Amino acid sequence: MYFKQFLDEHCGCASYLIASRQSHDAAIVDPALAIDQYEPILEERAFRLRYLIDTHVHADHVSGARALAARHGAEVCLHESAAVRYPFRPLRDGEELPLGQLRLRVLHTPGHRPELISILIINPPRSPEPSMVLTGDSLLVGDVGRPDFGGGDPEAQFDSVQRLLGLPDWVAVFPGHFEGPCGKGMCGRPSTTIGFERRFSPMLVLAKDAFVSALTNGVPARPLNMTAIEATNRGTADLPWAMLTSAPHVEAVGIEALPLRDPETLLLDVREPDEYLHGHVPGAVNLPQADLASRLHELPRDRRLLLICEYGMRSLRAAQFLRQMGYERVATVAGGTAAWRAAGRPLTTGELPLKPPQIMETRWSHAGAASH
């Protein structure tokens, strides 16, 4: 067999090329939008691409599955329950896709999303038992996928992960993410084993009730441009430019600059609405980072844009995206609303009495991981 993991440093995503060296049949699981990265291997090894499998409808990166399928005459495969507006091969739990002598066995493991599947890789000439499992955003390294992306279910996630833990200890686990906003405690390693996670994952030692509350208390903010990215992956929009693919320099200003700002400057709070209503810098306008690309037309190009969030990480990424989209006069507020609050400055709050928002901000030094 042939197996290669591709890691995307911008979004913390992993994709996988699996092939039979005997038959030359190949599959890619969770293909990135940068599809040219797979071509040299396909060409040099004369692999024939048969399947593009998305483990689920992604919310944080645009899938390259349809583009690769069109280029290679291959099939786009998703779980049969996937709600997308384009033709695909519907996969059922327990079904096996043949890849030369290899077998790709589908396990329905909902929780992060209802349609999420894991793929067991079996190589019968070597062993009747699986040696690897691609888990999408169900079982991650040191973590599990968050359940709040629409249709997610923390109890289903518990059951799915328990099902995966029923696999033999030796099975190597290759997740859909090694960093990024789809989990909040990923360790950063790109792979693990069932046995190691069963023994040492902080989530997997919890009973169901504790697991559910650990998953639902303090979720990371929805990813940058999630609305546009998810709609693109569902086939209801075509906004592949909504991915942040560069890291342009962005000017950073301190909170002391806020009271002195020019009246034509637009102060944009990119946190979630709950966080904004709970207290924001006076005059700030709310546009959550998840909706930035889908509401880009609301942002004037002739005014200076000052972006603020809770600690400064989301606003930096959002500002980088605006720079990528050609906005020239963009800056980020270092330290964010937390620094403003800590300095004893006044906050404007919403009208509703709200409990403190349960949002965690990811530190995006790379794709994420460490959090508050």
Catalytic residues: 309
Stretch that binds Fe ion, among 85-93, 134-142, 237-245, 326-334 (CB under 5 A): 134-142
Q: Select from 95, 83, 102, 87 the least CA-distant residue to 1.
A: 102
Rule CB under 5 A: is residue 29 a binding residue for Fe ion? no
CA nearest to 45, candidates 71, 65, 25, 64: 25
Separation in Å, CA 43 to CA 24, 36, 38: 11, 11, 9
Confirm if 282 and 346 have CB atoms less than 8 A apart: yes
Give the CA angle between residues 37, 43, 48 to the nearest 5°: 100
Q: Which stretch binds Fe ion (CB under 5 A): 6-14, 65-73, 180-188, 227-235?
A: 180-188
# residues contacting Fe ion (CB under 5 A): 2
Q: Where are the alpha helices (DSSP H) in 283-360?
A: 313-324, 336-342
Rounded to a whole number of angstroms, the minimum distance from the CB of residue 331 to Fe ion is: 31
The one segment of 181-189, 194-202, 207-215, 291-299 that binds Fe ion by CB under 5 A: 181-189
The verdict on 137 binding Fe ion (CB under 5 A) reads: yes
> What phi, psi does 108 have (nearest 5°)?
-80, 115
Beta bridge partners of 175: 136
The first and second tokens of residue 50, run together, are 């048969």
Of 195 and 240, which has the nearer Cβ to Fe ion? 240
Residue 319, C-beta contacts closer than 8 angstroms, at least 6 positions apart: 250, 305, 307, 330, 331, 332
Which residue, 19 or 134, has its beta carbon nearer to Fe ion? 134
The nearer residue to Fe ion, 151 or 279, going by C-beta atoms, is: 151
Which residue in the set 182, 186, 215, 226 belongs to the binding site for Fe ion (CB under 5 A)?
A: 182
Q: Tell the smallest beta-carbon distance from residue 117 to Fe ion (Å).
A: 12
Does residue 206 sit in helix, strand or coil? coil
Which of 27/182 has CB closer to Fe ion?
182
In whole angstroms, how close is the CB of 64 to Fe ion at the nearest point?
A: 15
Q: How many other CB atoms sit within 10 Å of the CB of residue 265?
A: 17
CB of 192 closer than 8 Å to CB of 200 = no
CA 371 to chain CA centroid, nearest Å: 16
In whole angstroms, the minimum distance from the beta carbon of 170 to Fe ion comes to 26
CB closest to Fe ion, residue no:
137
For Fe ion, the binding residues in 62-91 under the rule CB under 5 A are none
Question: Which residue's CB is nearer to Fe ion, number 100 or number 110?
Answer: 110
Which listed range, 22-30, 63-71, 174-182, 202-210, lies at the site for Fe ion (CB under 5 A)? 174-182
Cβ closest to Fe ion, residue 147 vs residue 357: 147
> Closest distance between Fe ion and the C-beta of residue 134, in Å?
13
296 binds Fe ion (CB under 5 A): no
The DSSP-derived string for 42-72 is HHHTTPEEEEEE-SS--SSS---HHHHHHHH
Residue found under tokens 């090694």: 178
Q: How far is the CB of 145 from Fe ion (least distance, A)?
A: 6
Per CB under 5 A, does 117 bind Fe ion?
A: no
Q: Which residues of the shown chain bind Fe ion in the complex (CB under 5 A)?
A: 137, 182
